[in-house]
Amino acid sequence: MEGRKAFGWAARDTSGILSPYSFNLRKTGSEDVVLKVLYCGVDHTDLHQMRNEIHNTNYPLVPGHEVVGEVVELGSEVKKFRVGDLVGVGCIVGSCGECLSCQSNMEQYCYNKIFTFNDTNKDGSPTRGGFSSAMVVHQRFVVRIPEKLALDQAAPLLCAGVTAYSPLKQFMGSNKVLNAGILGLGGVGHLGVLIAKAMGHHVTVISSSDKKREEALEILGADAFLVSSNAAEMEGAANSLDYILDTVPALHPLRSYLSLLKVDGKLIIVAAVPKPLQFDADDIILGKKTITGSFIGSMEETREILEFWADKGLKSFIETVKMDYVNEAFERMERNDVRFRFVLDIAGSNLE
């Protein structure tokens, strides 16, 4: 049985072009929250899936997984939320609830997790994301937005923010100042800089060109800027970093970045890259270096990053646009022409 009608924008084929689309929400279950979507962040993963570059896309595809909304209806067993609450939904909307990952508050690693879009709900209906007027989500995968946070500011934290926060959390409380590298200065990267600085780390931004030097140092407050295409700069920074957060969602060589790590350093990959990444075994063996990955964050960590952001008084750097601008926004995002994250004003847009 289907629920209320919703309006959104969907991709129909591998061109990835979005256009208006109407559909019926799934029926509201006893533990479900129905939310009116207010804002939704724009992420590189949306684009990859719109073009069927990862995860075998099922069309029509309604993307969006940095969703901020207002609760408009509750299932009979929902006790954590009330109608009118301002809430967020991130990258996943379901999991098995029984495996070790789920029982350990790491449901993002559940093998039966359900993605916010381009997946299948437990009732067999397709999941559709936040580029839409409304969503139905199980209460376990809904978080409350702190009162101190502006709603459009909160949106990028629900994927990009927690994607940076989850792996950096391990370095909190260090008794020494860590030398951090942030590779890439897009949506995830700029939040990684802000989080690492707020944790007290010495932060070096690593970028392929000099174009973002002023933004990194003057606007985001990074301590140093390194141009990866400058061999002399890279050689001078060899063996200097405790970790690198790699946020680049495109093919890039790992070898030169591994050379920047100290002995026992970590390269943490958090971006979905459509093609295999490569390195030489000697690059890690001779320095006891680690290449590791991290996938978004848990629901607990999502709540933590929202509170962290509010408590520290941090500010996401966003450009808020209406839905009819979304295709141009993706074009600009692809050429790195945004400082640093697009957020769609869903409630202020005509979706039909």
Give strand pairing partners of 128: none
Q: Is the pTM of this model over 0.75?
A: yes
Report the pLDDT value the prediction gives residue 274, as an integer from 0 to 100: 83
Going by C-beta distance under 8 Å and a sequence separation of 6 or more, which residues neighbour residue 103? none
Write the DSSP assignment of 229-263 as a string of letters.
Answer: T-HHHHHHTTT-EEEEEE---S---SHHHHTTEEE
Q: Contact, 180 vs 226, CB < 8 A?
A: no
Confidence of residue 339 (pLDDT cuts 50, 70, 90): confident
Residue 89, pLDDT above cutoff 80: yes
CA 322 to CA 329: how far, in whole Å? 10
Structure tokens at 229: 């295409």
Nearest alpha carbon to residue 185 among 222, 223, 157: 222
Q: Which of 51-55, 69-73, 203-207, 226-230 has the lowest mean pLDDT?
A: 51-55
Q: Contact, 222 vs 201, CB < 8 A?
A: no
Report the pLDDT value the prediction gives residue 2, as an integer from 0 to 100: 67
Confidence of residue 276 (pLDDT cuts 50, 70, 90): very high
CA 22 → CA 7, 87, 134, 319, 321, distances in Å?
A: 4, 23, 11, 26, 21
Report the pLDDT value the prediction gives residue 247, as an integer from 0 to 100: 96
Residue 1, pLDDT above cutoff 60: no
Report the pLDDT value the prediction gives residue 352, as an integer from 0 to 100: 87
Residue 28, pLDDT above cutoff 80: yes
CA 41 to CA 159: how far, in whole Å? 9
Q: What is the rounded average pLDDT for all residues in the chain?
A: 95
3 or 343: which leads in pLDDT: 343
Kindly report the number of other CB atoms within 10 A of residue 122's CB atom: 12
Confidence of residue 20 (pLDDT cuts 50, 70, 90): very high
SS3 (DSSP) at 340: coil
Burial class of residue 253 in the structure, from the number of CB atoms within 10 Å of its CB (0-12 exposed, 13-18 middle, 19+ buried)? exposed
Write the DSSP assignment of 111-123 as a string of letters.
Answer: TT-EESSSSB-TT
Structure tokens at 191: 């939040």
Confidence of residue 269 (pLDDT cuts 50, 70, 90): very high
CA 74 → CA 34, 96, 259, 266, 333, distances in Å?
A: 6, 22, 53, 44, 36
For the segment 336-342, the average pLDDT, to the nearest whole number, is: 89
